[in-house]
Structure 1
Amino acid sequence: MKLLVRSVQIVDKKSPFNGQIKDLLIEENIIKEIGENLSADSAEIIEGAEMCVSAGWLDMRVASRDPGFEHKEDLKSVRQAAAHGGFTEIVLLPNSQPVVHSKDTLNYIRQSGTDELVKLHVAGSVSRKSEGVDFTEMIDLHEAGAIAFTDGEHPVQNADLFLKTILYLRPMNALLMNRPEERQLTLYGQMHEGITSTLVGMKGMPSLAEEMMLSRDLKLLEYALEKNMYKSDVPALHVSLVSAGKSVELIRKAKKKGLPVSCDIAAHQLAFHDTDLISFDTNLKVNPPFRSTADTDAIKAGLADGTIDAIVSDHSPHDEESKNVEFDHADFGITGLETAFSLAIMYSGLRVEDIIEKLSAAPRRILRLPENSIEAGTKANLTFFEPETEWDFNKSYSKSKNTPFLGKTLTGKVRGVINNGKQEWYK
């Protein structure tokens, strides 16, 4: 591949060219030269026009459903959806069938196209079958390439299991990711507990369920570090899918105390509130649920002050039979890979370079991956985008279509991705 991209604005806080409009010459998967009025014989030429370029984006929370539920999503279709959403790397949750609790399943996923445009990272399961009872062989999984450990869609309910996992992973410098939810408080819940849930007659899922479990997790993290006396500059615990205002404040205080914790929010969490569920649209049924306006305001404040480190898609594909049913029988989840960037642009209130930081650099730091930067001599792992361009989301490349955004006009268009010597460009 020999490519010359002309007049593109660089968005990369680490790069000496941040904010500048430059030409990029890419050859043999390496950024050969950055400058003005560049030329190259036999190079494919792309006119940057209004395009921006950043280091390739990384989504920390994707459910692929493969192996086991390939009719909902497989490894090929999840790559296609990720690329169209601007992601060159994604982290897959272990909640397949079988669960990623053995090296065989881990290797099946990791070795499925190692040189593809979108790189797949795999999170290993904390417990066997993600049931929260018995430990997996985490050392073996770590050595086989598991990028982090989580029970994914199943929060770790057992406090002893959580504590011992933190202690177990620290000497390996491995990351535990957990979504805080006290499931005894959300049992049979359908949406956020509030006035709207009462009006429509649905069992609510209180913010308290998230806050209680998060408070427990942070206290156990602090106890584990005191017991283990092991310090690190990278997070030991990553809190997935923060949705409640009080949760943001708990993490803010934990960071001020120096606890090695990070967190993310799902992009779609910014777009809706619990009042929107009065429509009974099952595509709005997610977990954690859409909460109050006050919670959304707190999340935006947490994004702005750096309490919330990353933005994820929480891509959760489901087939028609799982969503086109009565609301209380529908599965939780939205397909989000293709819309995460647009939703961040439209609803987060952040500057473009801060959004890119939470889609690219921050996830890589949290996951102990080398940070990408747009400089001559570095690998070409890049995402091209136009933050102010409107586009119609009329076609999804995911096998599943459970998204409320299909047919809608969104702002923030992905124009192309480059990685592993491969490229795709979109109109």
Structure 2
Amino acid sequence: MSLLLLKSATIIDATGKHHLKKRDVLIEKGVIKKIATSLQEKGAREIELPNLHISRGWFDSSVSFGEPGYEERENISNGLRTAAFSGFTQVAVNPNTNPVTDTKAGVQFLKAKAEGNPVSLFPVGALTVRGEGKDLAELYDMYNEGAVAFGDYKNPVKNPNLLKIALQYCQNFNALVQSMPYEPQVATKGVMNEELNSTRLGLKGIPALAEELQITRDLYLLEYTGGKLHIPTISTKTGVELIRNAKKKGLNVSCSVAVANLMLTDDELEEFDTNYKLLPPLRAEADRKALIKGLKDGTIDGVTSDHDPIDIENKKTEFDHAMFGSIGLESSFGALNAVLGTELAVQALTSLKERFGVPSAALEEGSTANITLFDPEPDYAFSEKDIRSTSMNSAMLGKKLKGRAYGIYSNKKLVLNK
């Protein structure tokens, strides 16, 4: 469609002049042509939706789709469709596939599968060969093919010298290195947060120390080497404080938090529901509050759904043996909006774009139209009918959420929930 007219849309874009104003927005051939109080345009397709709000397109920095190798969990086509219906115009896709995305051919495969899609896919390359933590992967080749960051998904860099070399090497082409905040020798075989609840339930705990030791180590390495470091999905009060102090020292570090850790605590594990078996684990209420505070004051740079589809055979089993992970794209906005409010939720869903080198177009005349459409008001309990992913392993099932995405306009394509 060459002409599209969004009617009576409340604009959420804190950096723009139309913030919190209700406007008509005319889009022509993928570019915002005009924004005004009232517009009429002959031949334009008009979109008029109840309580329509729009913002810059949302970006998720940590999404897993399974393909290649684990298509029974999720394939790229359905994963991107799920992202679009959930309000995401851009996603960074993790390398936890089979084979692992550790070569330029792997990056090319992901980009080719997503070509022409309304949602833009940005590959995250594995930091090490096969994600095994022994030898650096083909980082420069993957970077040239379009990888936006490098990290071994959910696998910590055990060898500090390897991370040191990676941070030094990646400075040559200004690449972003990710390091999972998880010390496996401290976490051992833990399956949930180590605190009162783990003792009471008789489950092995993952102490906050496992996160905090790794963050401390990685920040010392960053201070020594320079470079750009991103610490994904922090979960503890002390972890927030460590990064806050590092930023005050001027270190080039960023971090994210998973939506589940902002909304839920380890009290959820009372019934041994494996949907709540997550990594990082759900922590205590004091940690949850510290994470929210860190997001509000800018210590935490943004949020991720940490969308990780797991097939039923690996999820519906004994708690100790179940795989870590939850899907999250479909519930992200509703959960964030319920916890943070609309303006901060939108900011959290867009603020990591620059860090990952993802385009971020303002809602202004002349800008490329990369837009999320949503209604922040509906209250509802998240249920299986709200899930579009192939896998159903959601930690948000039954939770009270607020707000729904209508869809997106991106790459000259409109996707609306039917």
Give the drift of 1:142. Answer: 0.8
Structure-1 separation of matches of 2:267 and 2:352: 31
Counterpart in 2 of 1:426?
A: 417
Give the match for residue 233 of structure 1.
none
SS of 2:241's partner is helix
Give 1:127's aligned residue.
Answer: 128
Name the aligned partner's letter for residue 273 of structure 1.
T
| Cα deviation, residue 267, structure 1 | 0.5
RMSD across aligned positions (CA): 1.3
Task: State the shift of 1:273 in Å.
Answer: 1.1
| Cα distance in 2, alignment partners of residues 112 and 412 from structure 1 | 31
The whole-number CA distance in structure 1 between the counterparts of 2:98 and 2:345 is 34
Report the Cα offset of residue 45 of structure 1.
1.0
| 1:371 CA drift (Å) | 2.5
Query: Contact (CA 8 Å) 2:50, 2:375: kept in 1 or not?
Result: no
* Preserved CA contact (<8 Å) 1:254 1:261: yes
**Equivalence for 2:388:** 397
1:411 aligns with 2:402: yes
Aligned equivalent of 2:220 = 219
Report the Cα offset of residue 342 of structure 1.
1.1
2:240 matched residue in structure 1: 248
Superposition pairs of residues 261-410 of structure 1, within 5 angstroms: 261-347=253-339, 350-360=340-350, 362-391=351-380, 393=382, 394-406=385-397, 408-410=399-401
Match in the other structure for 1:188: 189
Identity %: 39
Residue type of the partner of 2:338? M
Name the CA distance, whole Å, in 2 between partners of 1:376 and 1:172. 33
Q: 2-side partners of 1:71 and 1:292: how far apart?
A: 33
**Partners of 2:92 and 2:359 in 1: how far apart?**
15
User: 1:48 Cα deviation (Å)?
Assistant: 4.3
> Whole-Å Cα distance in 1 between the matches of residues 401 and 293 of structure 2?
23
Residue type of the alignment partner of 1:197: S
Q: Distance in 2 between matches of 1:190 and 1:69?
A: 23
Unaligned runs of 5+ in 2: none
Q: CA deviation at 1:163?
A: 0.6
Distance in 2 between the 1:99 and 1:161 partners? Answer: 19
Alignment of 1:78-97 (within 5 A): 78-97=79-98
* Counterpart residue identity of residue 393, structure 2: N
SS in 1 for 2:386: coil
SS in 1 for 2:354: helix
Distance 2:14 2:398 in 1: 34
Query: Which AA in structure 1 matches 2:231?
Result: V
Q: TM-score, normalised to structure 2's length?
A: 0.97
AA matched with 1:121: F
* 1:332-379 per-position Cα deviation (integer Å, ceiling 9, x unaligned): 0000011111111112xx34222212211x211111233210011111
Structure 1's consecutive aligned runs of 4 or more residues displaced over 4 angstroms after TM superposition are: none
How many residue pairs match? The answer is: 415
Letter in 1 for 2:234: V
Which amino acid letter does the alignment assign opposite residue 285 of structure 1? K
Alpha-carbon separation, structure 2, partners of 1:397 and 1:272: 22
Query: Is the 8 Å Cα contact of residues 7 and 49 (structure 1) preserved in structure 2?
Result: no
Once the two structures are TM-superposed, the CA of residue 392 in structure 1 deviates from its matched residue by 5.0
The CA distance in 2 between the partners of 1:272 and 1:406, in whole Å, is: 12
The secondary structure found in structure 2 opposite 1:316 is coil
- The answer on whether the counterparts of 1:117 and 1:422 sit within 8 Å (CA) in structure 2 is yes
Shift of 1:415: 1.1
- Matched to 2:376, the amino acid is P
Hey, what's the Cα distance between the residues in 2 that align with 1:408 and 1:214? 31
SS state at 1:329 partner: coil
Determine the structure 2 residue equivalent to 1:3. 4
Shift of residue 270, structure 1, vs aligned partner: 1.7
Give distance in 2, aligned partners of 1:354 and 1:406: 23
Instruction: Show the counterpart of 1:153.
Output: 154
Tell me by how many angstroms 1:409 deviates: 4.6
